Structures are given as C-alpha cells and as structure tokens.
Amino acid sequence: MEGYGLVLGGGGAKGSYEIGVWKALRELEIPLIAVAGTSVGALNGAMIIQNDYDKALKLWTSISIEAIINMNKATSVFEPHDIKEEIVKLVKAVINSGGLDAAPLKKLLLEIIDEQKIRNSHMDFGIVTFSLTDLKPITLFKEDIPEGKMVDYLLASASFPAFRPMEINGKKFIDGAVYDNIPVSLMLQRKIYDVIAVDISGVGRVRKVKDRDLNIIRIKNSEDLGPLLAFDVERVKRNIEIGYYDTMKAFGKYKGKYYYLTDTNSSIKLDENHVRLAYSLLGIDWDKRQSPQNRFIIYKLIRNLKKYSHDGKFRNTGGVILAAAEITAEVMGIERLKEYTSDDLISMIIEHYNLNKTDKALEDFANIIETQIWNTNRYSFTEKMKKTITESKFAALYSADVNDLSERTVLYRRLLALTYPKVCIANIFLAFLLNIHLDNKI
C-alpha cells in the first residue's frame, strides 16, 4: 500500500500543533500507512491511528493542566508567573514529591484510548520510551505491546522527566525524548521511505538518520508554541492553526516565507527607478554606491530580503517585492495566520498604516526621536533608543515618505539599516506603497 509514514515529535503542550498538522493532512487527503511518535507525539499518534480527529480536537481545546497532573502535589507551580519562577517552583515540587503525579493523565487516556481500534487499524504504530531500570531505549510497535498495556506504554513514552517514572511489570520508564524525540528510524525499520516528520521544538535528543532512499518532508513550527506545560486553551487553538498552515505550506498549498500566500505575482512592478529612489532615501548617491559604508548598508538590506526569498535568490523583481511586503507586514504586526494573495497583503499594509497614522503613540514616537536621538550622538542609536525602536510598532511608520529626504530622516534610515535592517526595509517599502497608492507617481 502506498502512503506516508508520519513521525510526531514530543514537546508537551506544544503537541497541539500536531492536531493542526493532522487537520491539514486530512484536508489534503494524504494517505498514511504508519505513525510513530515520542511523548505527546505518541499520544497524538494513538488518536490518529484510532481516526478520532473530532475527539482529539475537543480534548485539546478544552484541556487544562489539572487534566495532566495532580495539582495537590504541585500547588501553584503552573500559575502564570515569570517562566524562570515557574521552572524554579517546578524543580522544587519534583524534588519534594519524588516527581509530579500524572495519575490524571492516565485516567484521561483510559477514557479516550481504544486499544482494540489501534490494534485493528490498517496503519502501523510505533512509540519510543526509555527504561530507567535497564538504562536503555525501548522502541515498540503495537504488536510488541502486551494486551491491556497500551495506555501504560503510552504513558511510559510520555513520562516527562518532571513526572514520576512510569512503572510497568517492575520496571521504570521515562520520556522517550531522552533517546529520540523525532523517531524517523522507526519508519526505516518498517521499510517506509516516504516520511512526514513533525518537529515542535520539544526538549530532547533527535537522532540523525541516513538512508539514500529516504524521502522526508519536514514540518516545523514557524513561530513559538509556548512553554512545554502551558495548557492554555487560546494558546492551543493558535498552535493548531499554526500547524495547519505550516503543513499546507509544506505541501505547496501556500507560498511565502512568513505569511501564507496563494500567489507570488503582485501587481506592483520594480524597475531601476525604484532602486535609485531607495538609494536616495538612504542618502546614497547612485554614483557613490560603491563606497565602503554604502556597500555595507546595501549588503545588510539585501541579505535580509534574501532570507524571505524562496531559496535565498531573486529570479525576478517580483521576488524582491514579495520579500519586502512580507518583512513590512511582519514588522507592522499584521496577523499571519490567514490566507492572502500578494496584493491582499499589500492592501493590508496600507490599511494598517491608515489605521495607525493618527495614533497618538506615533506622535509620541516621533517626539522621542526628535528629543532623544538628535540631541545626543547623531551617528548611533543610544541603548534607550534601541529599546524604544524594538518595542514600538511605529518605528517603520515614522517618516515613511518618499519626499522626506531631510538630513535627519535620511540619517534615521541609515542607522536603521545598520541596526534594524528589517525595520528599514519596511520604512522604505511603506513609503513606496503610499506614494503609489496616493500619488500614482511610481
């Protein structure tokens, strides 16, 4: 039977991302012949083998930390404090209790896992755990797991190091991530060479596999998925959406580096006049563009633009426009988890600017620039200014005007190019867009 082997990585609450991956694979009608997983990847894999998508979705979108561990043994450990404080409390709780009690998770799994469905599925299923008793990794396929012990071994795979080790027949097991958090090797054991590997940036070892016949599609989270044990419903819902869109992009449904674009053909065209204008906005004389400082500024901007190209290269000017549009939208904080055409994204940039151009915070930002940068060192940003620019969504909007070639604004852009090149690109691209949109001059 032809199809893919799906490998799911571990990562605690980040595992909600894998439900989004599953959603996309279902929609794309990607055939699966096997699933292997570690830790939460093993738990999600079991639900996939059961073909219980709706149950898994409902579970993840209603889950809480109380459904995972016994909070009586870890009072307030998971309250929303600073992450460092959370970790300190977690470590103390583990030391004092001999490990967090995952009895609630076992109770939950006994309710949702159907062992016979897993055993009778046409799909193969494998998991990874680690035996503390024997000090060795254990890889198991469903036929290797004794009858009635499916939930126990799933818990053994998902026995996060902070949890009490899972005990089965007198032997203690901990999370398989200590051996292999993304166990592609299990697919090779089954001679499955078309593999989808899902990496959710979990903590653990990832063992490299080499096989000339291996055809692997890698899916990795495109933004931070939150802490390992942050079972927050809103975070879960966003992670599911990220997983869905990332998977759709991995299979060619969407283009773009940071956003999810259905096309790469913007109606905006780029020619030499635009390049010359960009240079003038940076105070670069066309005939002196080869000076060391100017070359370095140009290099910084082009290097960042290339990071948003398909393969680090621009085959046409449309690629430059698309890269600049994505960078500008990202800098301006435009929502990424939706489908856009190239022109939709550009229209959103203009709309976002129009919504914010009268915001008092933009005026306040301009006042800070005037009072704190030009009255200090003209040739560098102070640490306070760097902090202001980093935290402000208005840095790219400030003097986004192709007609503003004043000495101060040009110097602002040059300093941005050296310290915050993406913000500089956004400022110049926004100036272009506003000129096109309002005056139709370029």
Residue-wise pLDDT tens digits, 334-369: 999 999 999 999 999 999 999 998 888 888 888 877
Token pair recorded at residue 358? 């009268």
Q: Is the pLDDT assigned to residue 243 strictly greater than 90?
A: yes
* Average pLDDT score over residue span 26-47: 97
Cβ-in-10-Å burial (0-12, 13-18, 19+) of 316 comes to: exposed
pLDDT > 90 fraction of the chain, expressed in percent and rounded: 63
* Average pLDDT score over residue span 401-409: 90
C-alpha gyration radius of the chain: 26
Between CA 346 and CA 365 the distance in angstroms is 24
Between CA 323 and CA 305 the distance in angstroms is 6
Lowest mean pLDDT among 123-132, 172-181, 288-297, 372-381: 372-381
| Residue 212: predicted pLDDT | 85
For residues 296 and 311, the answer to whether their CB atoms sit within 8 Å is: no
* Average pLDDT score over residue span 69-78: 54
Q: Is the pLDDT assigned to residue 311 strictly greater than 70?
A: no
Q: Is the pLDDT assigned to residue 104 strictly greater than 90?
A: no
* Average pLDDT score over residue span 251-270: 92
Q: Is 170 helix (H, G, I), strand (E, B) or coil?
A: coil
Residue 288 burial (CB count, 10 A)? 10
What mean pLDDT, rounded, does the chain reach?
A: 87
Between CA 167 and CA 152 the distance in angstroms is 8
Q: Which of 60, 180, 201, 199 is nearest to 126 (CA)?
A: 180
| Residue 269: predicted pLDDT | 84
Q: Is the pLDDT assigned to residue 203 strictly greater than 70?
A: yes
Beta strand 171-175 with 124-131 is antiparallel
Residue 198 burial (CB count, 10 A)? 28
Lowest mean pLDDT among 69-73, 149-153, 212-216, 351-355: 69-73
Q: Which of 142, 107, 158, 408 is nearest to 283 (CA)?
A: 408
| Residue predicted with more confidence, 137 or 386 | 137
| Residue 430: predicted pLDDT | 95
Helices (H), 292-406: 292-306, 317-331, 342-356, 360-368, 383-391
Q: Is the pLDDT assigned to residue 441 strictly greater than 60?
A: no
Q: Is the pLDDT assigned to residue 125 strictly greater than 50?
A: yes
Query: What secondary structure letter does DSSP report for 100?
Result: B
| Residue 64: predicted pLDDT | 82
List CB contacts of 395: < 8 A, sequence separation 6 or more: 331, 365, 388, 389, 416, 420, 423, 427
| Residue 76: predicted pLDDT | 41
Q: Is the pLDDT assigned to residue 60 strictly greater than 90?
A: yes
Lowest mean pLDDT among 101-105, 257-261, 263-267: 101-105
Query: What secondary structure letter does DSSP report for 253?
Result: S
| Residue 178: predicted pLDDT | 92
Lowest mean pLDDT among 28-32, 82-86, 150-154, 242-246: 82-86
Q: Is the pLDDT assigned to residue 431 strictly greater than 60?
A: yes
For residues 240 and 17, the answer to whether their CB atoms sit within 8 Å is: yes
- pLDDT bin (cut points 50, 70, 90) of residue 312 is low
Q: For residue 17, how far is the Cα from the chain centroid?
A: 9
- pLDDT bin (cut points 50, 70, 90) of residue 81 is very low
Q: Which of 151, 200, 184 is nearest to 7 (CA)?
A: 184
Token pair recorded at residue 68? 């995972």
| Residue 248: predicted pLDDT | 98
| Residue predicted with more confidence, 48 or 368 | 48
| Residue 421: predicted pLDDT | 95
Lowest mean pLDDT among 67-76, 112-121, 186-195: 67-76
| Residue 334: predicted pLDDT | 95
| Residue 442: predicted pLDDT | 40
Q: Is the pLDDT assigned to residue 159 strictly greater than 50?
A: yes
Read off the pTM.
Answer: 0.89
Which residue bears the tokens 């979990």? 202
| Residue 384: predicted pLDDT | 67
Beta strand 171-175 with 215-220 is unpaired
Token pair recorded at residue 267? 């109606």
- pLDDT bin (cut points 50, 70, 90) of residue 77 is very low
